[in-house]
Chains A and B, each alone.
Chain A
Amino acid sequence: MTSPSEIDALLESKKIIVMVGAGGVGKTTASALLAIRAAMAGRRVALLSIDPAKRLASALGLGLGHEMRPVALMPAPDKSAPRGSLHASMLDQKAVFDRMVRLHAPSEKIAERIMRDPLYRAASTNLSGPLEYMALARLQELTQDKDFDLVILDTPPDSHALDFLKRPNILAGFMENRVMTWLIKPVLTMGKLGLGRLIGVGEKLAGGVASLTGFSALRSFGEFLLLMQEVIEGFHKTGEQVVATLQDKKTAFILVAVPTRAAERSAVFLADQLAEMDYRVDGLVINRCLPVASATELANVTASLPAAARDFVNARYFGEDKVIGNLIKNLSSSRKKNRLVVRIEDQGADFHDIDGLTRLALSF
């Protein structure tokens, strides 16, 4: 495991920390713990969370609105006062989306039309692709904010999370490929003329798809894309800036996992993907580890337990050991540098308040 001073050195030297991991591994909790620890040590931290669990949100005082709001830090268990500050917010996807549209639309009138479009309303609130993109757009904004010197991003709770890093502007795909033009143009033409002479493979298919779906979905989609054209180009530019920011050496990616085989596979996969895209993985946080200091303690405790309980505790202890060992081996093979490994003990999923979080944040 890593020494506390190495953890603090990382929190001290980076400007952005991106937390990645599969759903259900406690990514949001790990993000909050690192944010609190950095803030206690003197940094001015902005924590951007996507979808925190209700209880964690209330412990941090996260409420409505996407503006960063101050979190009231508590003194450390040794009574030392916090030296920095912590602000946190939940991503309001629609608010960021709206702002991006206003920023990039050629005119206020077109911006209004886009925002009235039913497809826009559905896309800006419900979709996971734009959610990820908007998280990055917001990250870019926050890195420009003079009030913060460390931004911690808790990424979407999904294993698709990396698709957007590969190509941060998912919508740009529409611009690059003529396939969409094939699909959209005939539909638009048909819409205008009432009927259309469909020429070419793509057009026939588009016609077919349109007839299956009752036509309207695809047509409105095409209209929507034409309307969005300039906005999409603007998105593309932001996407490029974000990639540069994320590849900067002041940015760290930290993998979050739990000691199960499924989480191990997922973390190794994520690490490979990140390495392929030239993003640096600086650390690994393993949540929900058994709170035990040594094999001796384990043996002492299990000696007094019934056989079933003993088997269960042993299985968990040795399983955890195997998973962590594999993760460290896998992660260090892709780069020579030693990485940070933080083991967080199982808290029984209960965080009542900022006090408990602070205690845990300073314990590892």
Chain B
Amino acid sequence: MSQGTSLAQLLTSRKLLFVTGKGGIGKTLVSVAMAQAAAAAGLRVLLVESSSRDQIAPLFGLDPVGHSETVAAPGITCINLNTAGNFREYITKYLGKKKMFDTVFSHRVVQSFFNTVPGLAEAMMLGRLYYTCDVRDVDQRPDLVIFDSPASGHFLSLMTTPDAIVESGLAGPMLRDTQKVRDFLRRKNDVGVIYVCTPEPLVVSEAMDFLPVIQEKSPAKLCGVIVNRIPPSLGHDATRQSPAHGAGESRLLSFLRERSAKSAAALDMVRVSTQQFPGIMYLGLRDLGFVDDPLPSDFHRTFLTEEALHP
């Protein structure tokens, strides 16, 4: 696996990285740490999420920023894109009717409208990312956009939208724009998907089922797998099951042991799978036990230290 791409290479060469994976496994922390690492390397990073409430801003000690690009740290801006905001920008750009939009569209009914026209919200989201990475004036473009993306299932619906729209029989500017977005997402050297999982057999086997689907159906392709929360080694003594152990043994110790064993089994599964996707990044990150916020500005140094994933 040593021939695989490194995280540093991905951060410096790509324009847009999607970070996805099952819910609750640390996508947001991984995205933020990646942004810190990229900013430390001198890049201007835009950190994007699309959540009902800001998840990223509190990690920088900020109040919710919502749909407006806000400086979070030197070199890092963040934004929580929402569909109404994306749509507003798109309509305004084409029709130049900002005030009119606000009169009519600044209503919660609008949200229902977006949600009811299938694919509209997704198209607007991808369009906004494309615009930020590739269309906007060069001096306003970030070097790297990291999108802390929705969890696996929703991510797939997001990424399959461009094909669906192109084939749907829509016409006009939205169809042309969607084709451009799709072409952009297909640019392997600019755009990639990083999949985050944890070292649990069930989670890894779900990942192994999901990754080929991304490769087949998403215009943006897989460029990395991160195994987050690898438990630290328990050392020789603790791993050895001595006769003294058994019914009276500490539950904590047996829990830790069981976790280590599961993690080892899951990492074996990951290693086998690396042959399926040669050349991409495989990165293991250790379990920190607990992460308090706001994050220290050098959090990436503690967090993005590679854990033994390689055989």
Contacts and interface: CB of A to CB of B under 8 A. Distances in A.
A binds B: yes
A173 B252 contact: no
Contact of B113 (A122, A159, A221, A269): A221
A221 B117 contact: yes
Contacts of B95: 205, 208, 212
Interface residues of B, number: 67
A10 B71 CA distance: 47
Interface in A314-364: 314-320, 322, 345-346, 348-350
A212 B165 CA distance: 13
B97 interface: yes
A36 interface: no
Contacts of A179: 104, 107, 109-110
A70 interface: no
A304 B288 contact: no
Interface string A43-75: 000000000000100000000000000000000
Interface of B: 22-25, 28, 51-53, 55, 58, 90-91, 94-95, 97, 100-101, 103-105, 107-110, 112-113, 115-118, 120, 151, 157, 169-175, 200, 202-203, 231-235, 237-238, 250-253, 255-256, 258-259, 262, 286-293
A349 B116 contact: no
B25 A297 contact: no
A24 B52 contact: no
29 contacts: A24-B22, A119-B118, A128-B115, A129-B115, A129-B116, A174-B112, A179-B110, A201-B100, A201-B103, A201-B104, A204-B100, A205-B97, A208-B97, A211-B172, A214-B169, A214-B170, A216-B169, A261-B291, A262-B28, A262-B55, A301-B256, A305-B238, A306-B232, A308-B233, A309-B256, A311-B289, A317-B289, A319-B289, A349-B202
B109 A212 contact: no
Contacts of A214: 169-172, 174-175
B170 A213 contact: yes
B112 A173 contact: yes
A177 B256 contact: no
Count chain A CB atoms within 10 A of each CB in B101, B109, B202, B291 and give the residue with the most.
B109
Contacts of A269: 53
A205 B237 contact: no
Interface residues of A, number: 78
Interface in A111-128: 119, 122-123, 126-128
A291 B252 contact: yes
Contacts of A204: 97, 100
Nearest to B24: A24
Contacts of B104: 179, 182-183, 201-202, 205
A265 B172 contact: no
A96 interface: no
Contacts of B109: 173-174, 177, 179-180
A140 interface: no
B202 A55 contact: yes
Interface string A144-185: 000000000000011110010000001101100101101100
Nearest to A224: B116
Contact of B255 (A55, A170, A291, A349): A291
B172 A212 contact: yes
Given A214-B171, A266-B53, A297-B252, A304 B25 contact: no
Given A127-B115, A174-B112, 6 more contacts: A211-B173, A212-B94, A214-B170, A214-B172, A265-B53, A304-B237
Contact of B23 (A24, A212, A292, A304): A24
Interface string A290-315: 11110001101100111011011111
B239 to A, nearest CB: 10
Given A205-B101, A269-B53, A218 B289 contact: no
B57 to A, nearest CB: 11
Contacts of A313: 252, 256, 289
Q: What 3 A-B pairs have minimum CB-CB distances, sorted nearest first? A: A24-B24, A319-B290, A315-B289
